[in-house]
Amino acid sequence: MDNYFEIKDLKVGFKTFEGIKKVLDLEFLSICKGETFGLVGESGSGKSVLALTILGLLPIPPGIIESGQILYGGEDLLKKREEEMRKIRGKKISMIFQDPMSTLNPVFTVGEQIIRVIRNNEGINRKQAEKKALEMIELVKLPDAKNILIKYPHELSGGQRQRIIIAIALSCGAEFLIADEPTRNLDVTIQAGILKLIAELKKELKVTVLFIANNLGLVSAVCNRVGILHEGRIVETGTVKEVIKDPKHPYTVTLLKAIPANREEKIDLSRILLRRENGQETGGCRYFDRCPERSGQCSKSSPSLTPVDGSHLVACFKAFERSGINEQTAS
């Protein structure tokens, strides 16, 4: 495991009238070159904030990066100046946004938009850029590329648009792709198509993908490893097999149960629907209020991410007990 991409002790918050609200508190996250890492969490858990922070696009007046490091190829992205970051965006790290319906500029043809991005990053003339744009459209498996090139975004379907967006994201040769819920607002058939495309492109272009989703099922289909994000903290991480087959954290267990499927037993959703009302810091485990297995210790101190089984890391006292690990606490 080489350290291709690493996040250490990242704390991000937002300034509000009630003081600083903590959004992200990541102890540790590492992604290896060439793998697909899935980040799963409910809405509001900080997934998109993480994506924006990596790219340096977090609006800084309300947002605050309190501490931490984001190491990419050995360099700390948080220490880079805006000008340096701009050169990394697109060329090294690229992003696919949630909503394919609004990510394209409505007043230009998609061809114009792809060509512009290509010309922006490579000093080639228009004819060459047009050729490259055609190649990119063929790469994302859209038929009749020539015809697509002259279409306006509103003339394309959601799936077609998302493919175009992927083409644009990859057209500057990015090697690290952040996909922030790329299949949101798409129906299941198109979802499957987009997921297949991302998997194929990964093989072809050898890109590393950070796949952000709120659906554990989706992630298990495309990813090598997953991290479960809960209120800004990673509570469990490991290979897909480890996490899905043998979930250690009660939150993961509930998430897995909540996937709608054909099953006989009724699922109790009351726990997962519970929310901490005001999100104040109690010093204890953030999952305490919703946890079915909570005990006295959980309200006093917060568990830190600890390996339980090879690459499988978890942050839960109960899980430690079960695996026979000495209690480890973090502040």
Restricted to residues 133-152, the positions that interact with other proteins (CB under 8 A) are 146, 149-152
Q: Does 131 bind other proteins (CB under 8 A)?
A: no
**Strand-pair partners of 239:** 225
**Does residue number 177 form part of the binding site for other proteins (CB under 8 A)?**
no
Q: Binding mask 40-79 vs other proteins (x if CB under 8 A, - otherwise)?
A: ---------------x-x----------------------
Instruction: For residue 181, state whether it binds other proteins (rule: CB under 8 A).
Output: no
Binding segment toward other proteins, per CB under 8 A, in 1-9, 107-115, 184-192, 211-219: 107-115
CA angle 146, 183, 237 (to 5 degrees): 135
Q: Does 207 bind other proteins (CB under 8 A)?
A: no
Element containing residue 11 per DSSP (H, E): strand 5-16
Closest approach, Cβ 116 to other proteins, in A, equals 7
Q: Residue 87 CB, nearest distance to other proteins (Å)?
A: 7
Tell whether residue 14 is a contact of other proteins (CB under 8 A).
no
Site for other proteins contains 287 (CB under 8 A): no
CB closer to other proteins, 120 vs 295: 120
Q: Which long-range contacts (CB under 8 A, 24 or more apart) does 41-48 make?
A: 41/214, 41/228, 41/229, 41/230, 42/214, 42/230, 43/214, 44/231, 45/229, 45/230, 45/231, 45/232, 46/12, 46/229, 46/231, 46/232, 47/180, 47/181, 47/212, 47/214, 47/229, 48/98, 48/180, 48/212
Amino acid in the structure at residue 102: S
Looking at 169, 218, 305, 319, which residue binds other proteins (CB under 8 A)?
169
CB of 69: closest distance to other proteins in angstroms?
Answer: 21
Q: Report residue 234 as tokens.
A: 């990673």
Q: How far is the CB of 85 from other proteins (least distance, A)?
A: 8
Report if residue 116 touches other proteins, rule: CB under 8 A.
yes
Q: Where do we find the tokens 């919703």? A: 290
Distance CA 81, CA 278 (A): 35
Q: What gap in Å lies between CA 300 and CA 102, rounded to an integer?
A: 45
Q: What single letter denotes the amino acid at residue 86? A: R
Binding site for other proteins (CB under 8 A): 55, 57, 86-91, 94-95, 97-99, 102-109, 111-112, 115-117, 119-121, 126-127, 130, 146, 149-152, 165, 168-169, 172, 174
